[in-house]
Amino acid sequence: MEFAKGHGTRNDFVILPDPDGALPLTAGSVAALCDRRGGIGADGLLRVVRCAKHPDATRYAADAEWFMDYWNADGSIAEMCGNGIRVFLRYLVTNGLADGPTVTIATRSGLRTGTVGETIAVQMGPPTLLGTTGATIGEAGYPGVAVDAGNPHLVCPVPAAELAALDLTRAPRLDPAVFPAGANVEFVTVLDEPVAGADRHVRMRVYERGAGETESCGSGAVAVAAVTLREAGRDAGTVAVDVPGGRLTATVTPDSLTLAGPAVIVATGTLR
């Protein structure tokens, strides 16, 4: 079985081409492939399958050829992955499976259209800011804003000195009444250093549901940008989001959100 490996700002993915949906993927087989010692190693897995061949995507078959079947490293399934979409688009265009530069794919959260160039920009749709809630790490509480970015997020502003010191080796505890299916938790600090072309500049760390601390999370950057702009009293603007793996840029208008950043394929191979 052929595979590829790619990443977007070091949020990394195993890519499995399975146009006809023939692979019997299970939580166990995905977790084994994503295992960094016994498998290929990744934060998640992207199955490249035709919409017409996957039960979660047949309704999109008239509008998109390909479905991003996204799995977290622990074998759980997620609705959305902002870095995964960009890597998925890079894979499609690099392998001649889609004509660029503009490609629409299906996800469990709906159709998404991206533009493939040196970087890849995806129309993510406007996130929904929900109520305030919080996370707990050890004895410390972190108030934040719940955000639906296609998948669930909690955005917690923290001072710069605290951001680097946070222990994200274990999952922050959440209110199960707010997040019955868990959530990705972003901790964010607004930075003073301006970035050309951006209205706001922030630094983010993330604990991803189903993967642990990762070096980047595209949907997390979307959630962070929406919260950052709202707290600045703005309904539009561009936010530069620095993550441990690089920089993402989120541009918000009242009815859209575009996520942009690098996405690369680093290897191809054969599974034994």
11 annotated ligand binder: yes
219 annotated ligand binder: yes
Q: Per-residue contact track with ligand LBFN2T5F, 196 to 215, x per CB under 6 A?
A: ------------xxxx----
209 annotated ligand binder: yes
What is the footprint of ligand LBFN2T5F within residues 100-139 (CB under 6 A)?
none
Local structure of 143: helix, strand or coil: strand
Residues marked active site are found at 81, 217
Q: Is 186 in the site for ligand LBFN2T5F (CB under 6 A)?
A: no
Contact residues for 172 (Cβ-Cβ < 8 A; gap 6+): 135, 136, 137, 142, 154, 185, 207
Q: What is the helix (H) or strand (E) element at residue 221, kind and residue range?
A: helix 218-231
Minimum distance, C-beta of residue 45 to ligand LBFN2T5F, in the bound complex (Å): 11
| Of residues 241, 238, 243, the one with CA closest to residue 258 | 238
What is the footprint of ligand LBFN2T5F within residues 240-269 (CB under 6 A)?
none
Local structure of 52: helix, strand or coil: helix
Angle of helix 82-94 relative to helix 218-231, nearest 10 degrees? 130
72 annotated ligand binder: yes
Are 222 and 259 contacting, i.e. CB atoms less than 8 angstroms apart?
A: yes
Annotated binding-site positions: 11, 72, 82-83, 151, 184, 208-209, 218-219
Annotated binding-site positions for substrate: 11, 72, 82-83, 151, 184, 208-209, 218-219
Where does this chain bind ligand LBFN2T5F (CB under 6 A)?
A: 11, 44, 72, 78, 81-84, 151, 184, 208-211, 217-219
